[in-house]
Amino acid sequence: LKHTVRSGPGSGIILLLSMERARMSATYDRIRGGSTAQEGEWPWQASLKKNGKHYCGASLISERYLVTAAHCFQKTKDPKNYTVSFGTKVTPPYMQHYVQQIIIHEDYIQGEKHDDIAIILLTEKVSFKKDVHRVCLPEATQIFPPGEGVVVTGWGALSYDVLLQKAPVKIIDTNTCNAQEAYYGMVQDTMLCAGYMEGNIDACQGDSGGPLVHPNSRNIWYLVGVVSWGHDCGKINKPGVYVRVTAYRNWIASKTESTTPCMIESVIAVMGVQIDFPVSRWRFLEGTSSNVVFGSRDRLSFLRRSTLMPLVVGGALELPGMSLFSTTAETGGRVRLGRPVLG
């Protein structure tokens, strides 16, 4: 069997209902199936362009770092050849940034499938906003079991006017993926399979390096996988194979400055200090009370005495312990700790 990496010319996320369609898929220039993403729906999705043309996907994990696939840099590793942009279109580039450094996993071997992960360092920080911000990284011990619903996004190697596509898939047990009729033992512990064994939805060529994400119970999205390789696209018994992010969580931390967790257990109220968003919960000290006021319409969850309390942003709520004030309290913005809002 010929196994291909998922960058370069070909289709993007596709929906295949039969083997006949699978054989025909190579003749299509556009994504077959899936659905179009809404603006700001996947704000961490980035387009990695080589010499101005979309080549791979990537995921924003902090203001200056992105995660992608190592095989995206097989032909050239010169940062000057690459740019990164965001949004649902690959052109014109939205919030384009230049690449300062490409960090490829030390054990990656060109043409092989293991350790297919790389980090991109940008020359300047990305200004987080509602439609562009980071995705959370899971802890190394976090488990995403087989059957868990996840979403893969990407453009594929498509014409310039196409919009970002999304496709819901499920994590597949590694033993199932390594069966003789599937990948025959090729899927390692540092990889994971996602899709459908019957051959429905898949990430394909041109989607390499893009995100496979999963929301937790508070709708905070975590980067579960990185599009890596597979046999054709959407073929029966040949689901997509992804880099398992938890297996490389410590490596990512060692190469980046993005160590701030998405789950902040406690915050000390210091006047004027800002913390990265998204933040899922705060633990409030008891003894005093003050207002919590936000200026947007998103929803946040606050932890008070081990009880999650929903807060409709734009209103005020009496909570014990500290005062939080924000003018940009929206996903991807920042939360400012400040003085109590009286009245």
Q: Does residue 168 have a cis peptide bond before it, meaning omega lies within 30 degrees of 0?
A: no
> 152 φ, ψ to 5°?
-110, 140
Rounded distance between C-alpha atoms, residue 330 and residue 300, angstroms: 9
Q: Which band of pLDDT confidence, cut at 50, 70 and 90, is reported for residue 17?
A: very low
Return the top range by mean pLDDT from 54-63, 150-159, 265-274: 54-63
> How many Å separate Cα 342 from the centre of its chain?
39
122: left (phi over 0), alpha (psi -120 to 50) or beta: beta
* Summary mean pLDDT of the chain: 73
pLDDT(109) > 50: yes
Which residues, other chains included, contact 216 with Cβ-Cβ below 8 Å and sequence gap of 6+?
A: 222
Each domain of the chain, given as residue ranges in start order, spans 4-255, 274-337
Average pLDDT over residues 280-300: 35
Q: What CATH homologous superfamily does 4-255 map to?
A: Trypsin-like serine proteases (2.40.10.10)
Q: How many residues does the chain have?
A: 343
Return the top range by mean pLDDT from 5-9, 38-42, 232-236: 38-42
Q: Which band of pLDDT confidence, cut at 50, 70 and 90, is reported for residue 320?
A: very low
Q: Give me the active site residues, please.
A: 71, 116, 208
Model confidence, pTM: 0.72
The model's pLDDT over 126-169, given as tens digits with 9 standing for 90+, comes to: 998 889 999 999 999 999 999 999 999 998 755 455 789 998 99
Q: Which band of pLDDT confidence, cut at 50, 70 and 90, is reported for residue 206?
A: low
Q: Does residue 215 have a cis peptide bond before it, meaning omega lies within 30 degrees of 0?
A: no
Identify which has the larger pLDDT, 35 or 140: 140
DSSP 297-329: S-EEEEEETTEEEEEEBTBEEEEES--EE-SS-
Residue 136 in contact with residue 221, Cβ under 8 Å? yes
> How many Å separate Cα 341 from the centre of its chain?
36
Q: Which of 135, 125, 119, 121 is nearest to 67 (CA)?
A: 119
The model's pLDDT over 60-88, given as tens digits with 9 standing for 90+, comes to: 999 999 999 999 999 899 999 999 999 99
Rounded distance between C-alpha atoms, residue 47 and residue 322, angstroms: 40
The helix/strand count (H/E) of the chain reads as: 3, 23
Dihedral angle over CA of 190, 72, 59, 159, nearest 10: -130
Task: Give the ranges where the chain is alpha helix by DSSP (H).
Answer: 19-24, 174-177, 249-255
pLDDT for res 276: 39
Q: Which band of pLDDT confidence, cut at 50, 70 and 90, is reported for residue 6?
A: low
Pairing of strands 94-104, 334-337: unpaired
Pairing of strands 316-320, 324-325: unpaired
Instruction: Supply 246's token pair.
Output: 């938890």
